[in-house]
Amino acid sequence: MGLNDRISSLEGGDGQNERPQRLQLDREMSFDEQLDAVDALLDNLESRLDALEERAFGVAGEETQAAQRPQPEPEPARAEVSTPPTLGSSELAKQLAQYVESRAEVYGIPTSGKIPTRTLGEVTADFEGDDAALSIRDDDYGTKFEAVRIGDRDSWEILTDELNDTERTTLADLPQEPEEYVERANGKAVVRSLGVLAGHEFRKEDGGGVRWTDRIDGKTSDTFEFEISPRADGGRTVTGTRPGSGETVLQATVRDGKTRVTQSDIPTPVVDRLDEQAKGALKRRKERQHSRTQNRQSESER
């Protein structure tokens, strides 16, 4: 069954006319039991509201009746997202320096400074002409990598290298050019935004699908479909296409909360609009949760 058949349209869905659950309270209930019943109803209504928001903002999930379609086997890791080769200490220093310089060019910021990262710890860079010093440290371990170069951009002296294999692989895979940095950042932003707007599709054991419609001034600008496939390692492969042409615009893998992007051809303005939708959805959810907390506190004080 193709992705088109697996994704529900914004207008369709058997649950569209489903009546919301009614609140039923028994006079014999204790006050805490009544609060629990109210919370359960609010949870149900919030889930329905999230689904309606997804439709309103152009995000449609696949049909939830998974039993109606065959269950695909988890796919093995694909060649295009294979682990990059592990490099020696000097090569890793070059990779890190090039990454820092590309990042600085993209954001128009100085190359010297501190860069917090989720996977490596805190990267500190100090550039002065062709001279440079790099270090990586985290609060738990301390300094685990230090390198300096004097004059020769290709000659690095390694002072400390206590990186583990995962960290070395991460360094070897860092983007090396500004264009590559932007491509990776855009791809991660798309996956992150989809996780906010349709996170349940990532949690389905047999995979999920998302259709997102980009709109400008209320008019449809472009449409993208994202297929979320299970991997043998427990992660997910996210493949984005334009349904009209079938052009692949995104290839990424997600595992243990980390996203690796190998292709992202979605224009930056489009990514920004998707990101804004995700931020808006998060804000509304936080406001609803805050309101519920306040209401419960008020009920408890009565």
- pLDDT bucket at 73, cuts 50 / 70 / 90: very low
Assigned token pair, 14: 């058997």
Confidence of residue 68 (pLDDT cuts 50, 70, 90): very low
Q: Where are the domains of the chain?
A: 3-13+29-77+182-301, 85-172
State the DSSP code for 233: T
Q: How confident is the model at residue 40 (pLDDT cuts 50, 70, 90)?
A: low
Q: Does 48 score more than 60 pLDDT?
A: no
259, pLDDT greater than 70: yes
Q: Is the pLDDT of residue 47 over 80?
A: no
pLDDT above 70 covers what percent of the chain? 70
Please check the confidence at residue 42 and state whether its pLDDT lies above 60. Answer: no
Query: Could you tell me how far CA 140 lies from the centroid of its own chain?
Result: 26
Give how far Cα 66 sits from Cα of 11, 63, 116, 205, 232, Å: 20, 7, 41, 10, 20
